[in-house]
Amino acid sequence: MEPSPLLNDPLRTKGTAFTEAQRREHGLLGLLPHSVTTLDEQVRRSWNEVRRQATDLDRYVYLRSLQDRNENLFYSVLAADVPTALPLVYTPTVAEGCRRFSELWRRPRGLYLSWPDREHLREMLRNRPHSDVDVIVVTDGQRILGIGDQGVGGMGIPVGKLSLYTLIGGIDPARTLPILLDVGTDNADLLDDEFYLGWRHRRIDDEAYVAFVEDIVAAVEDEMPDVLLQWEDFATPHAAPILERYRDRLLTFNDDIQGTAAVALGALQGAAAVAGTRLRDQQVVMLGAGSAGIGVMDMVRQEMIDEGASDDEARAHCWVVDVRGLLTTDRDDLSDDQRAFAHDPSDVSGWGVDGLPGLGDLVEHLDVGVLLGLSTAQGAFTEEIIRTMAAKVDRPIVFPLSNPTSNAEARPADVDDWTDGKALIATGSPFPPLSRDQKGEHADRDIPVAQCNNVYIFPAVGLAVTAARATRVTDAMMRAAARALGDASPALADSHAPLLPAWADVRDVADGIALAVAAQAVADGVAPKADDDELRAAIRRTRWSPGY
């Protein structure tokens, strides 16, 4: 007799938690050690094993292997200590996992849609492990975090993101699907790596690329017409055009553009409230003109308009700087979305700057209240820039948002020191708490640094659209997510508290954000009519929890 496949099914196995009766029923006698353990005992054993690993990468590999063996146990382990688990299964550790993907390969997860197999897209989609899918995360591996083109190694990002959709948003793991578009890689080290598992070829050109993405979208529409498709870590020339091309055709969003913008705006709203100002009255400077930076500024602009500013007034308060300098209308190297934030050269003509103004020039000549960074330029927020800013505003808002930690525009401890503790800080990657050893009310108090991690937003959006049966993701829905996150800021009750909720609370916060997003979907006419009580009930029914 063939042994039951139950033991090796990661979605149904209980491992050593199978009872004696279950072992007899399913033909498992003799296949497990005698002792029957509880899920709690398995969780404690697993955390003990996590702590025994020598490095965070080793911990990442162990947890991914656990996910492959037993998904209920994997998510129970993560849920038992969310603050410790998050950086191990996602940023910053996932960056090294992507870089060494081929070396660390264990077993398949998700779908690899490769250019050489483009004639078989529908067959590949039909080979997905589970037919009913609620959420897809797709990447082409070209712009992974702050480490660039990782080719097939980019699969680590969809796998990691979907783990958080389940952990935070309660999406059933059996109804998620990571997808990697393998269109080659321009990473010479990968092309020369004897162990590289992807298509060993330079990336295909733009015309072929656009056609390939269109074929994939058409196949997804046919095979999974109601699925939420999240675009992740696409390079700037592709990210915004793909979003614009498909946002009114699919239930879809780009997390780097819209998720990053929503979490940053949520933190900004808490910071503005603590600073006693309105966002519309601030001069906001963004260092970085990629898709993420422009996405954040576009949501900031729209929020200023919602606060009562005209479109012209809002744009006049938004300044974007790239590697060349300020975006200005006389530049011929700007994309359409970048050009929307370009200033007329006359706006800075009296500054006496030779060439394009840089970040330091803006801080010198404007009363900059908000300084944001999505440039991956380590240390770009210098002591001189921060001190100049702090001399002009009472509570400077400084967000070095680039990932991973090594690419951050400034270290929070330095910003805190340069501003004598006045700065309101949030980062993109995790940093140690700020120590308070000065005299006064908050002496000897460690203050956690808020991390603008998109995990505050995208799992809640996934939960909302699944529960509400939405057909589109609108800009208003993303701003509703940002406002709900801002409303949950601990700093609103204690100005010395972090700008964003603690990781231990993030799953509860997700339910509130999901309700706000679902209600906005109904208001926008992209989801069936339902009141808040009906939406709350739908969210509860949709939320999956691990257990035996």
How does DSSP assign 472-531, residue by residue?
Answer: ---HHHHHHHHHHHHHT-GGGT-TTS-SS--GGGHHHHHHHHHHHHHHHHHHTTSS----
Catalytic: which of 14, 60, 75, 90?
90
What pLDDT, in 10s, does the model give residues 102-142? 999 999 999 999 999 999 999 999 999 999 999 999 999 99
- Extents of the domains making up the chain: 5-89, 99-255, 258-534
Give residue 241's pLDDT band: very low, low, confident or very high (50, 70, 90).
very high
Torsion of the alpha carbons at 372, 374, 380 and 385, rounded to the nearest 10: -10
Q: Give the CATH fold of the 5-89 domain.
A: Hemocyanin, N-terminal domain (1.20.1370)
**Residue 157 predicted with pLDDT over 80:** yes
Residue of 153, 140, 339 lying closest to 234 (CA atoms): 140
Instruction: Give the CATH H-level superfamily of domain 99-255.
Output: Malic enzyme, N-terminal domain (3.40.50.10380)
Residue of 120, 452, 63, 87 lying closest to 262 (CA atoms): 452
The H-or-E segment that residue 368 falls in is strand 368-373
Catalytic: which of 60, 161, 209, 246?
161
Query: Three-state DSSP class for 397?
Result: strand
Give residue 438's pLDDT band: very low, low, confident or very high (50, 70, 90).
very low
What pLDDT, in 10s, does the model give residues 249-264? 999 999 999 999 999 9
Q: What is the DSSP string of 284-351?
A: EEEE--SHHHHHHHHHHHHHHHHTT--HHHHHHTEEEE-SSSB-BTT-SS--HHHHTTPBPGGGGGGG
Segment 272-281 shows an average pLDDT of 94
Amino acid identity of residue 31, one-letter, is: L
Give residue 440's pLDDT band: very low, low, confident or very high (50, 70, 90).
very low
Q: What is the DSSP string of 220-231?
A: HHHH-TT-EEEE
Instruction: Give the CATH H-level superfamily of domain 258-534.
Output: NAD(P)-binding Rossmann-like Domain (3.40.50.720)
Q: What is the DSSP string of 134-188?
A: SEEEEE-SSSBTTTB--GGGGGHHHHHHHHHHHHHH---GGGEEEEEEE-----H
The sign of the torsion formed by the CA atoms of 146, 416, 414, 391 equals positive
Buried b (16+ CB within 10 A) or exposed e, 490-529: bbeeeeebbbbbebeebbebbbbbbbbbbbbbbebebbee
Segment 313-332 shows an average pLDDT of 97
Q: Please give the mean pLDDT across all residues of the chain.
A: 95
Active-site residue flag, 161: yes
Is there a common fold for 5-89 and 99-255?
Answer: no
Give residue 146's pLDDT band: very low, low, confident or very high (50, 70, 90).
confident
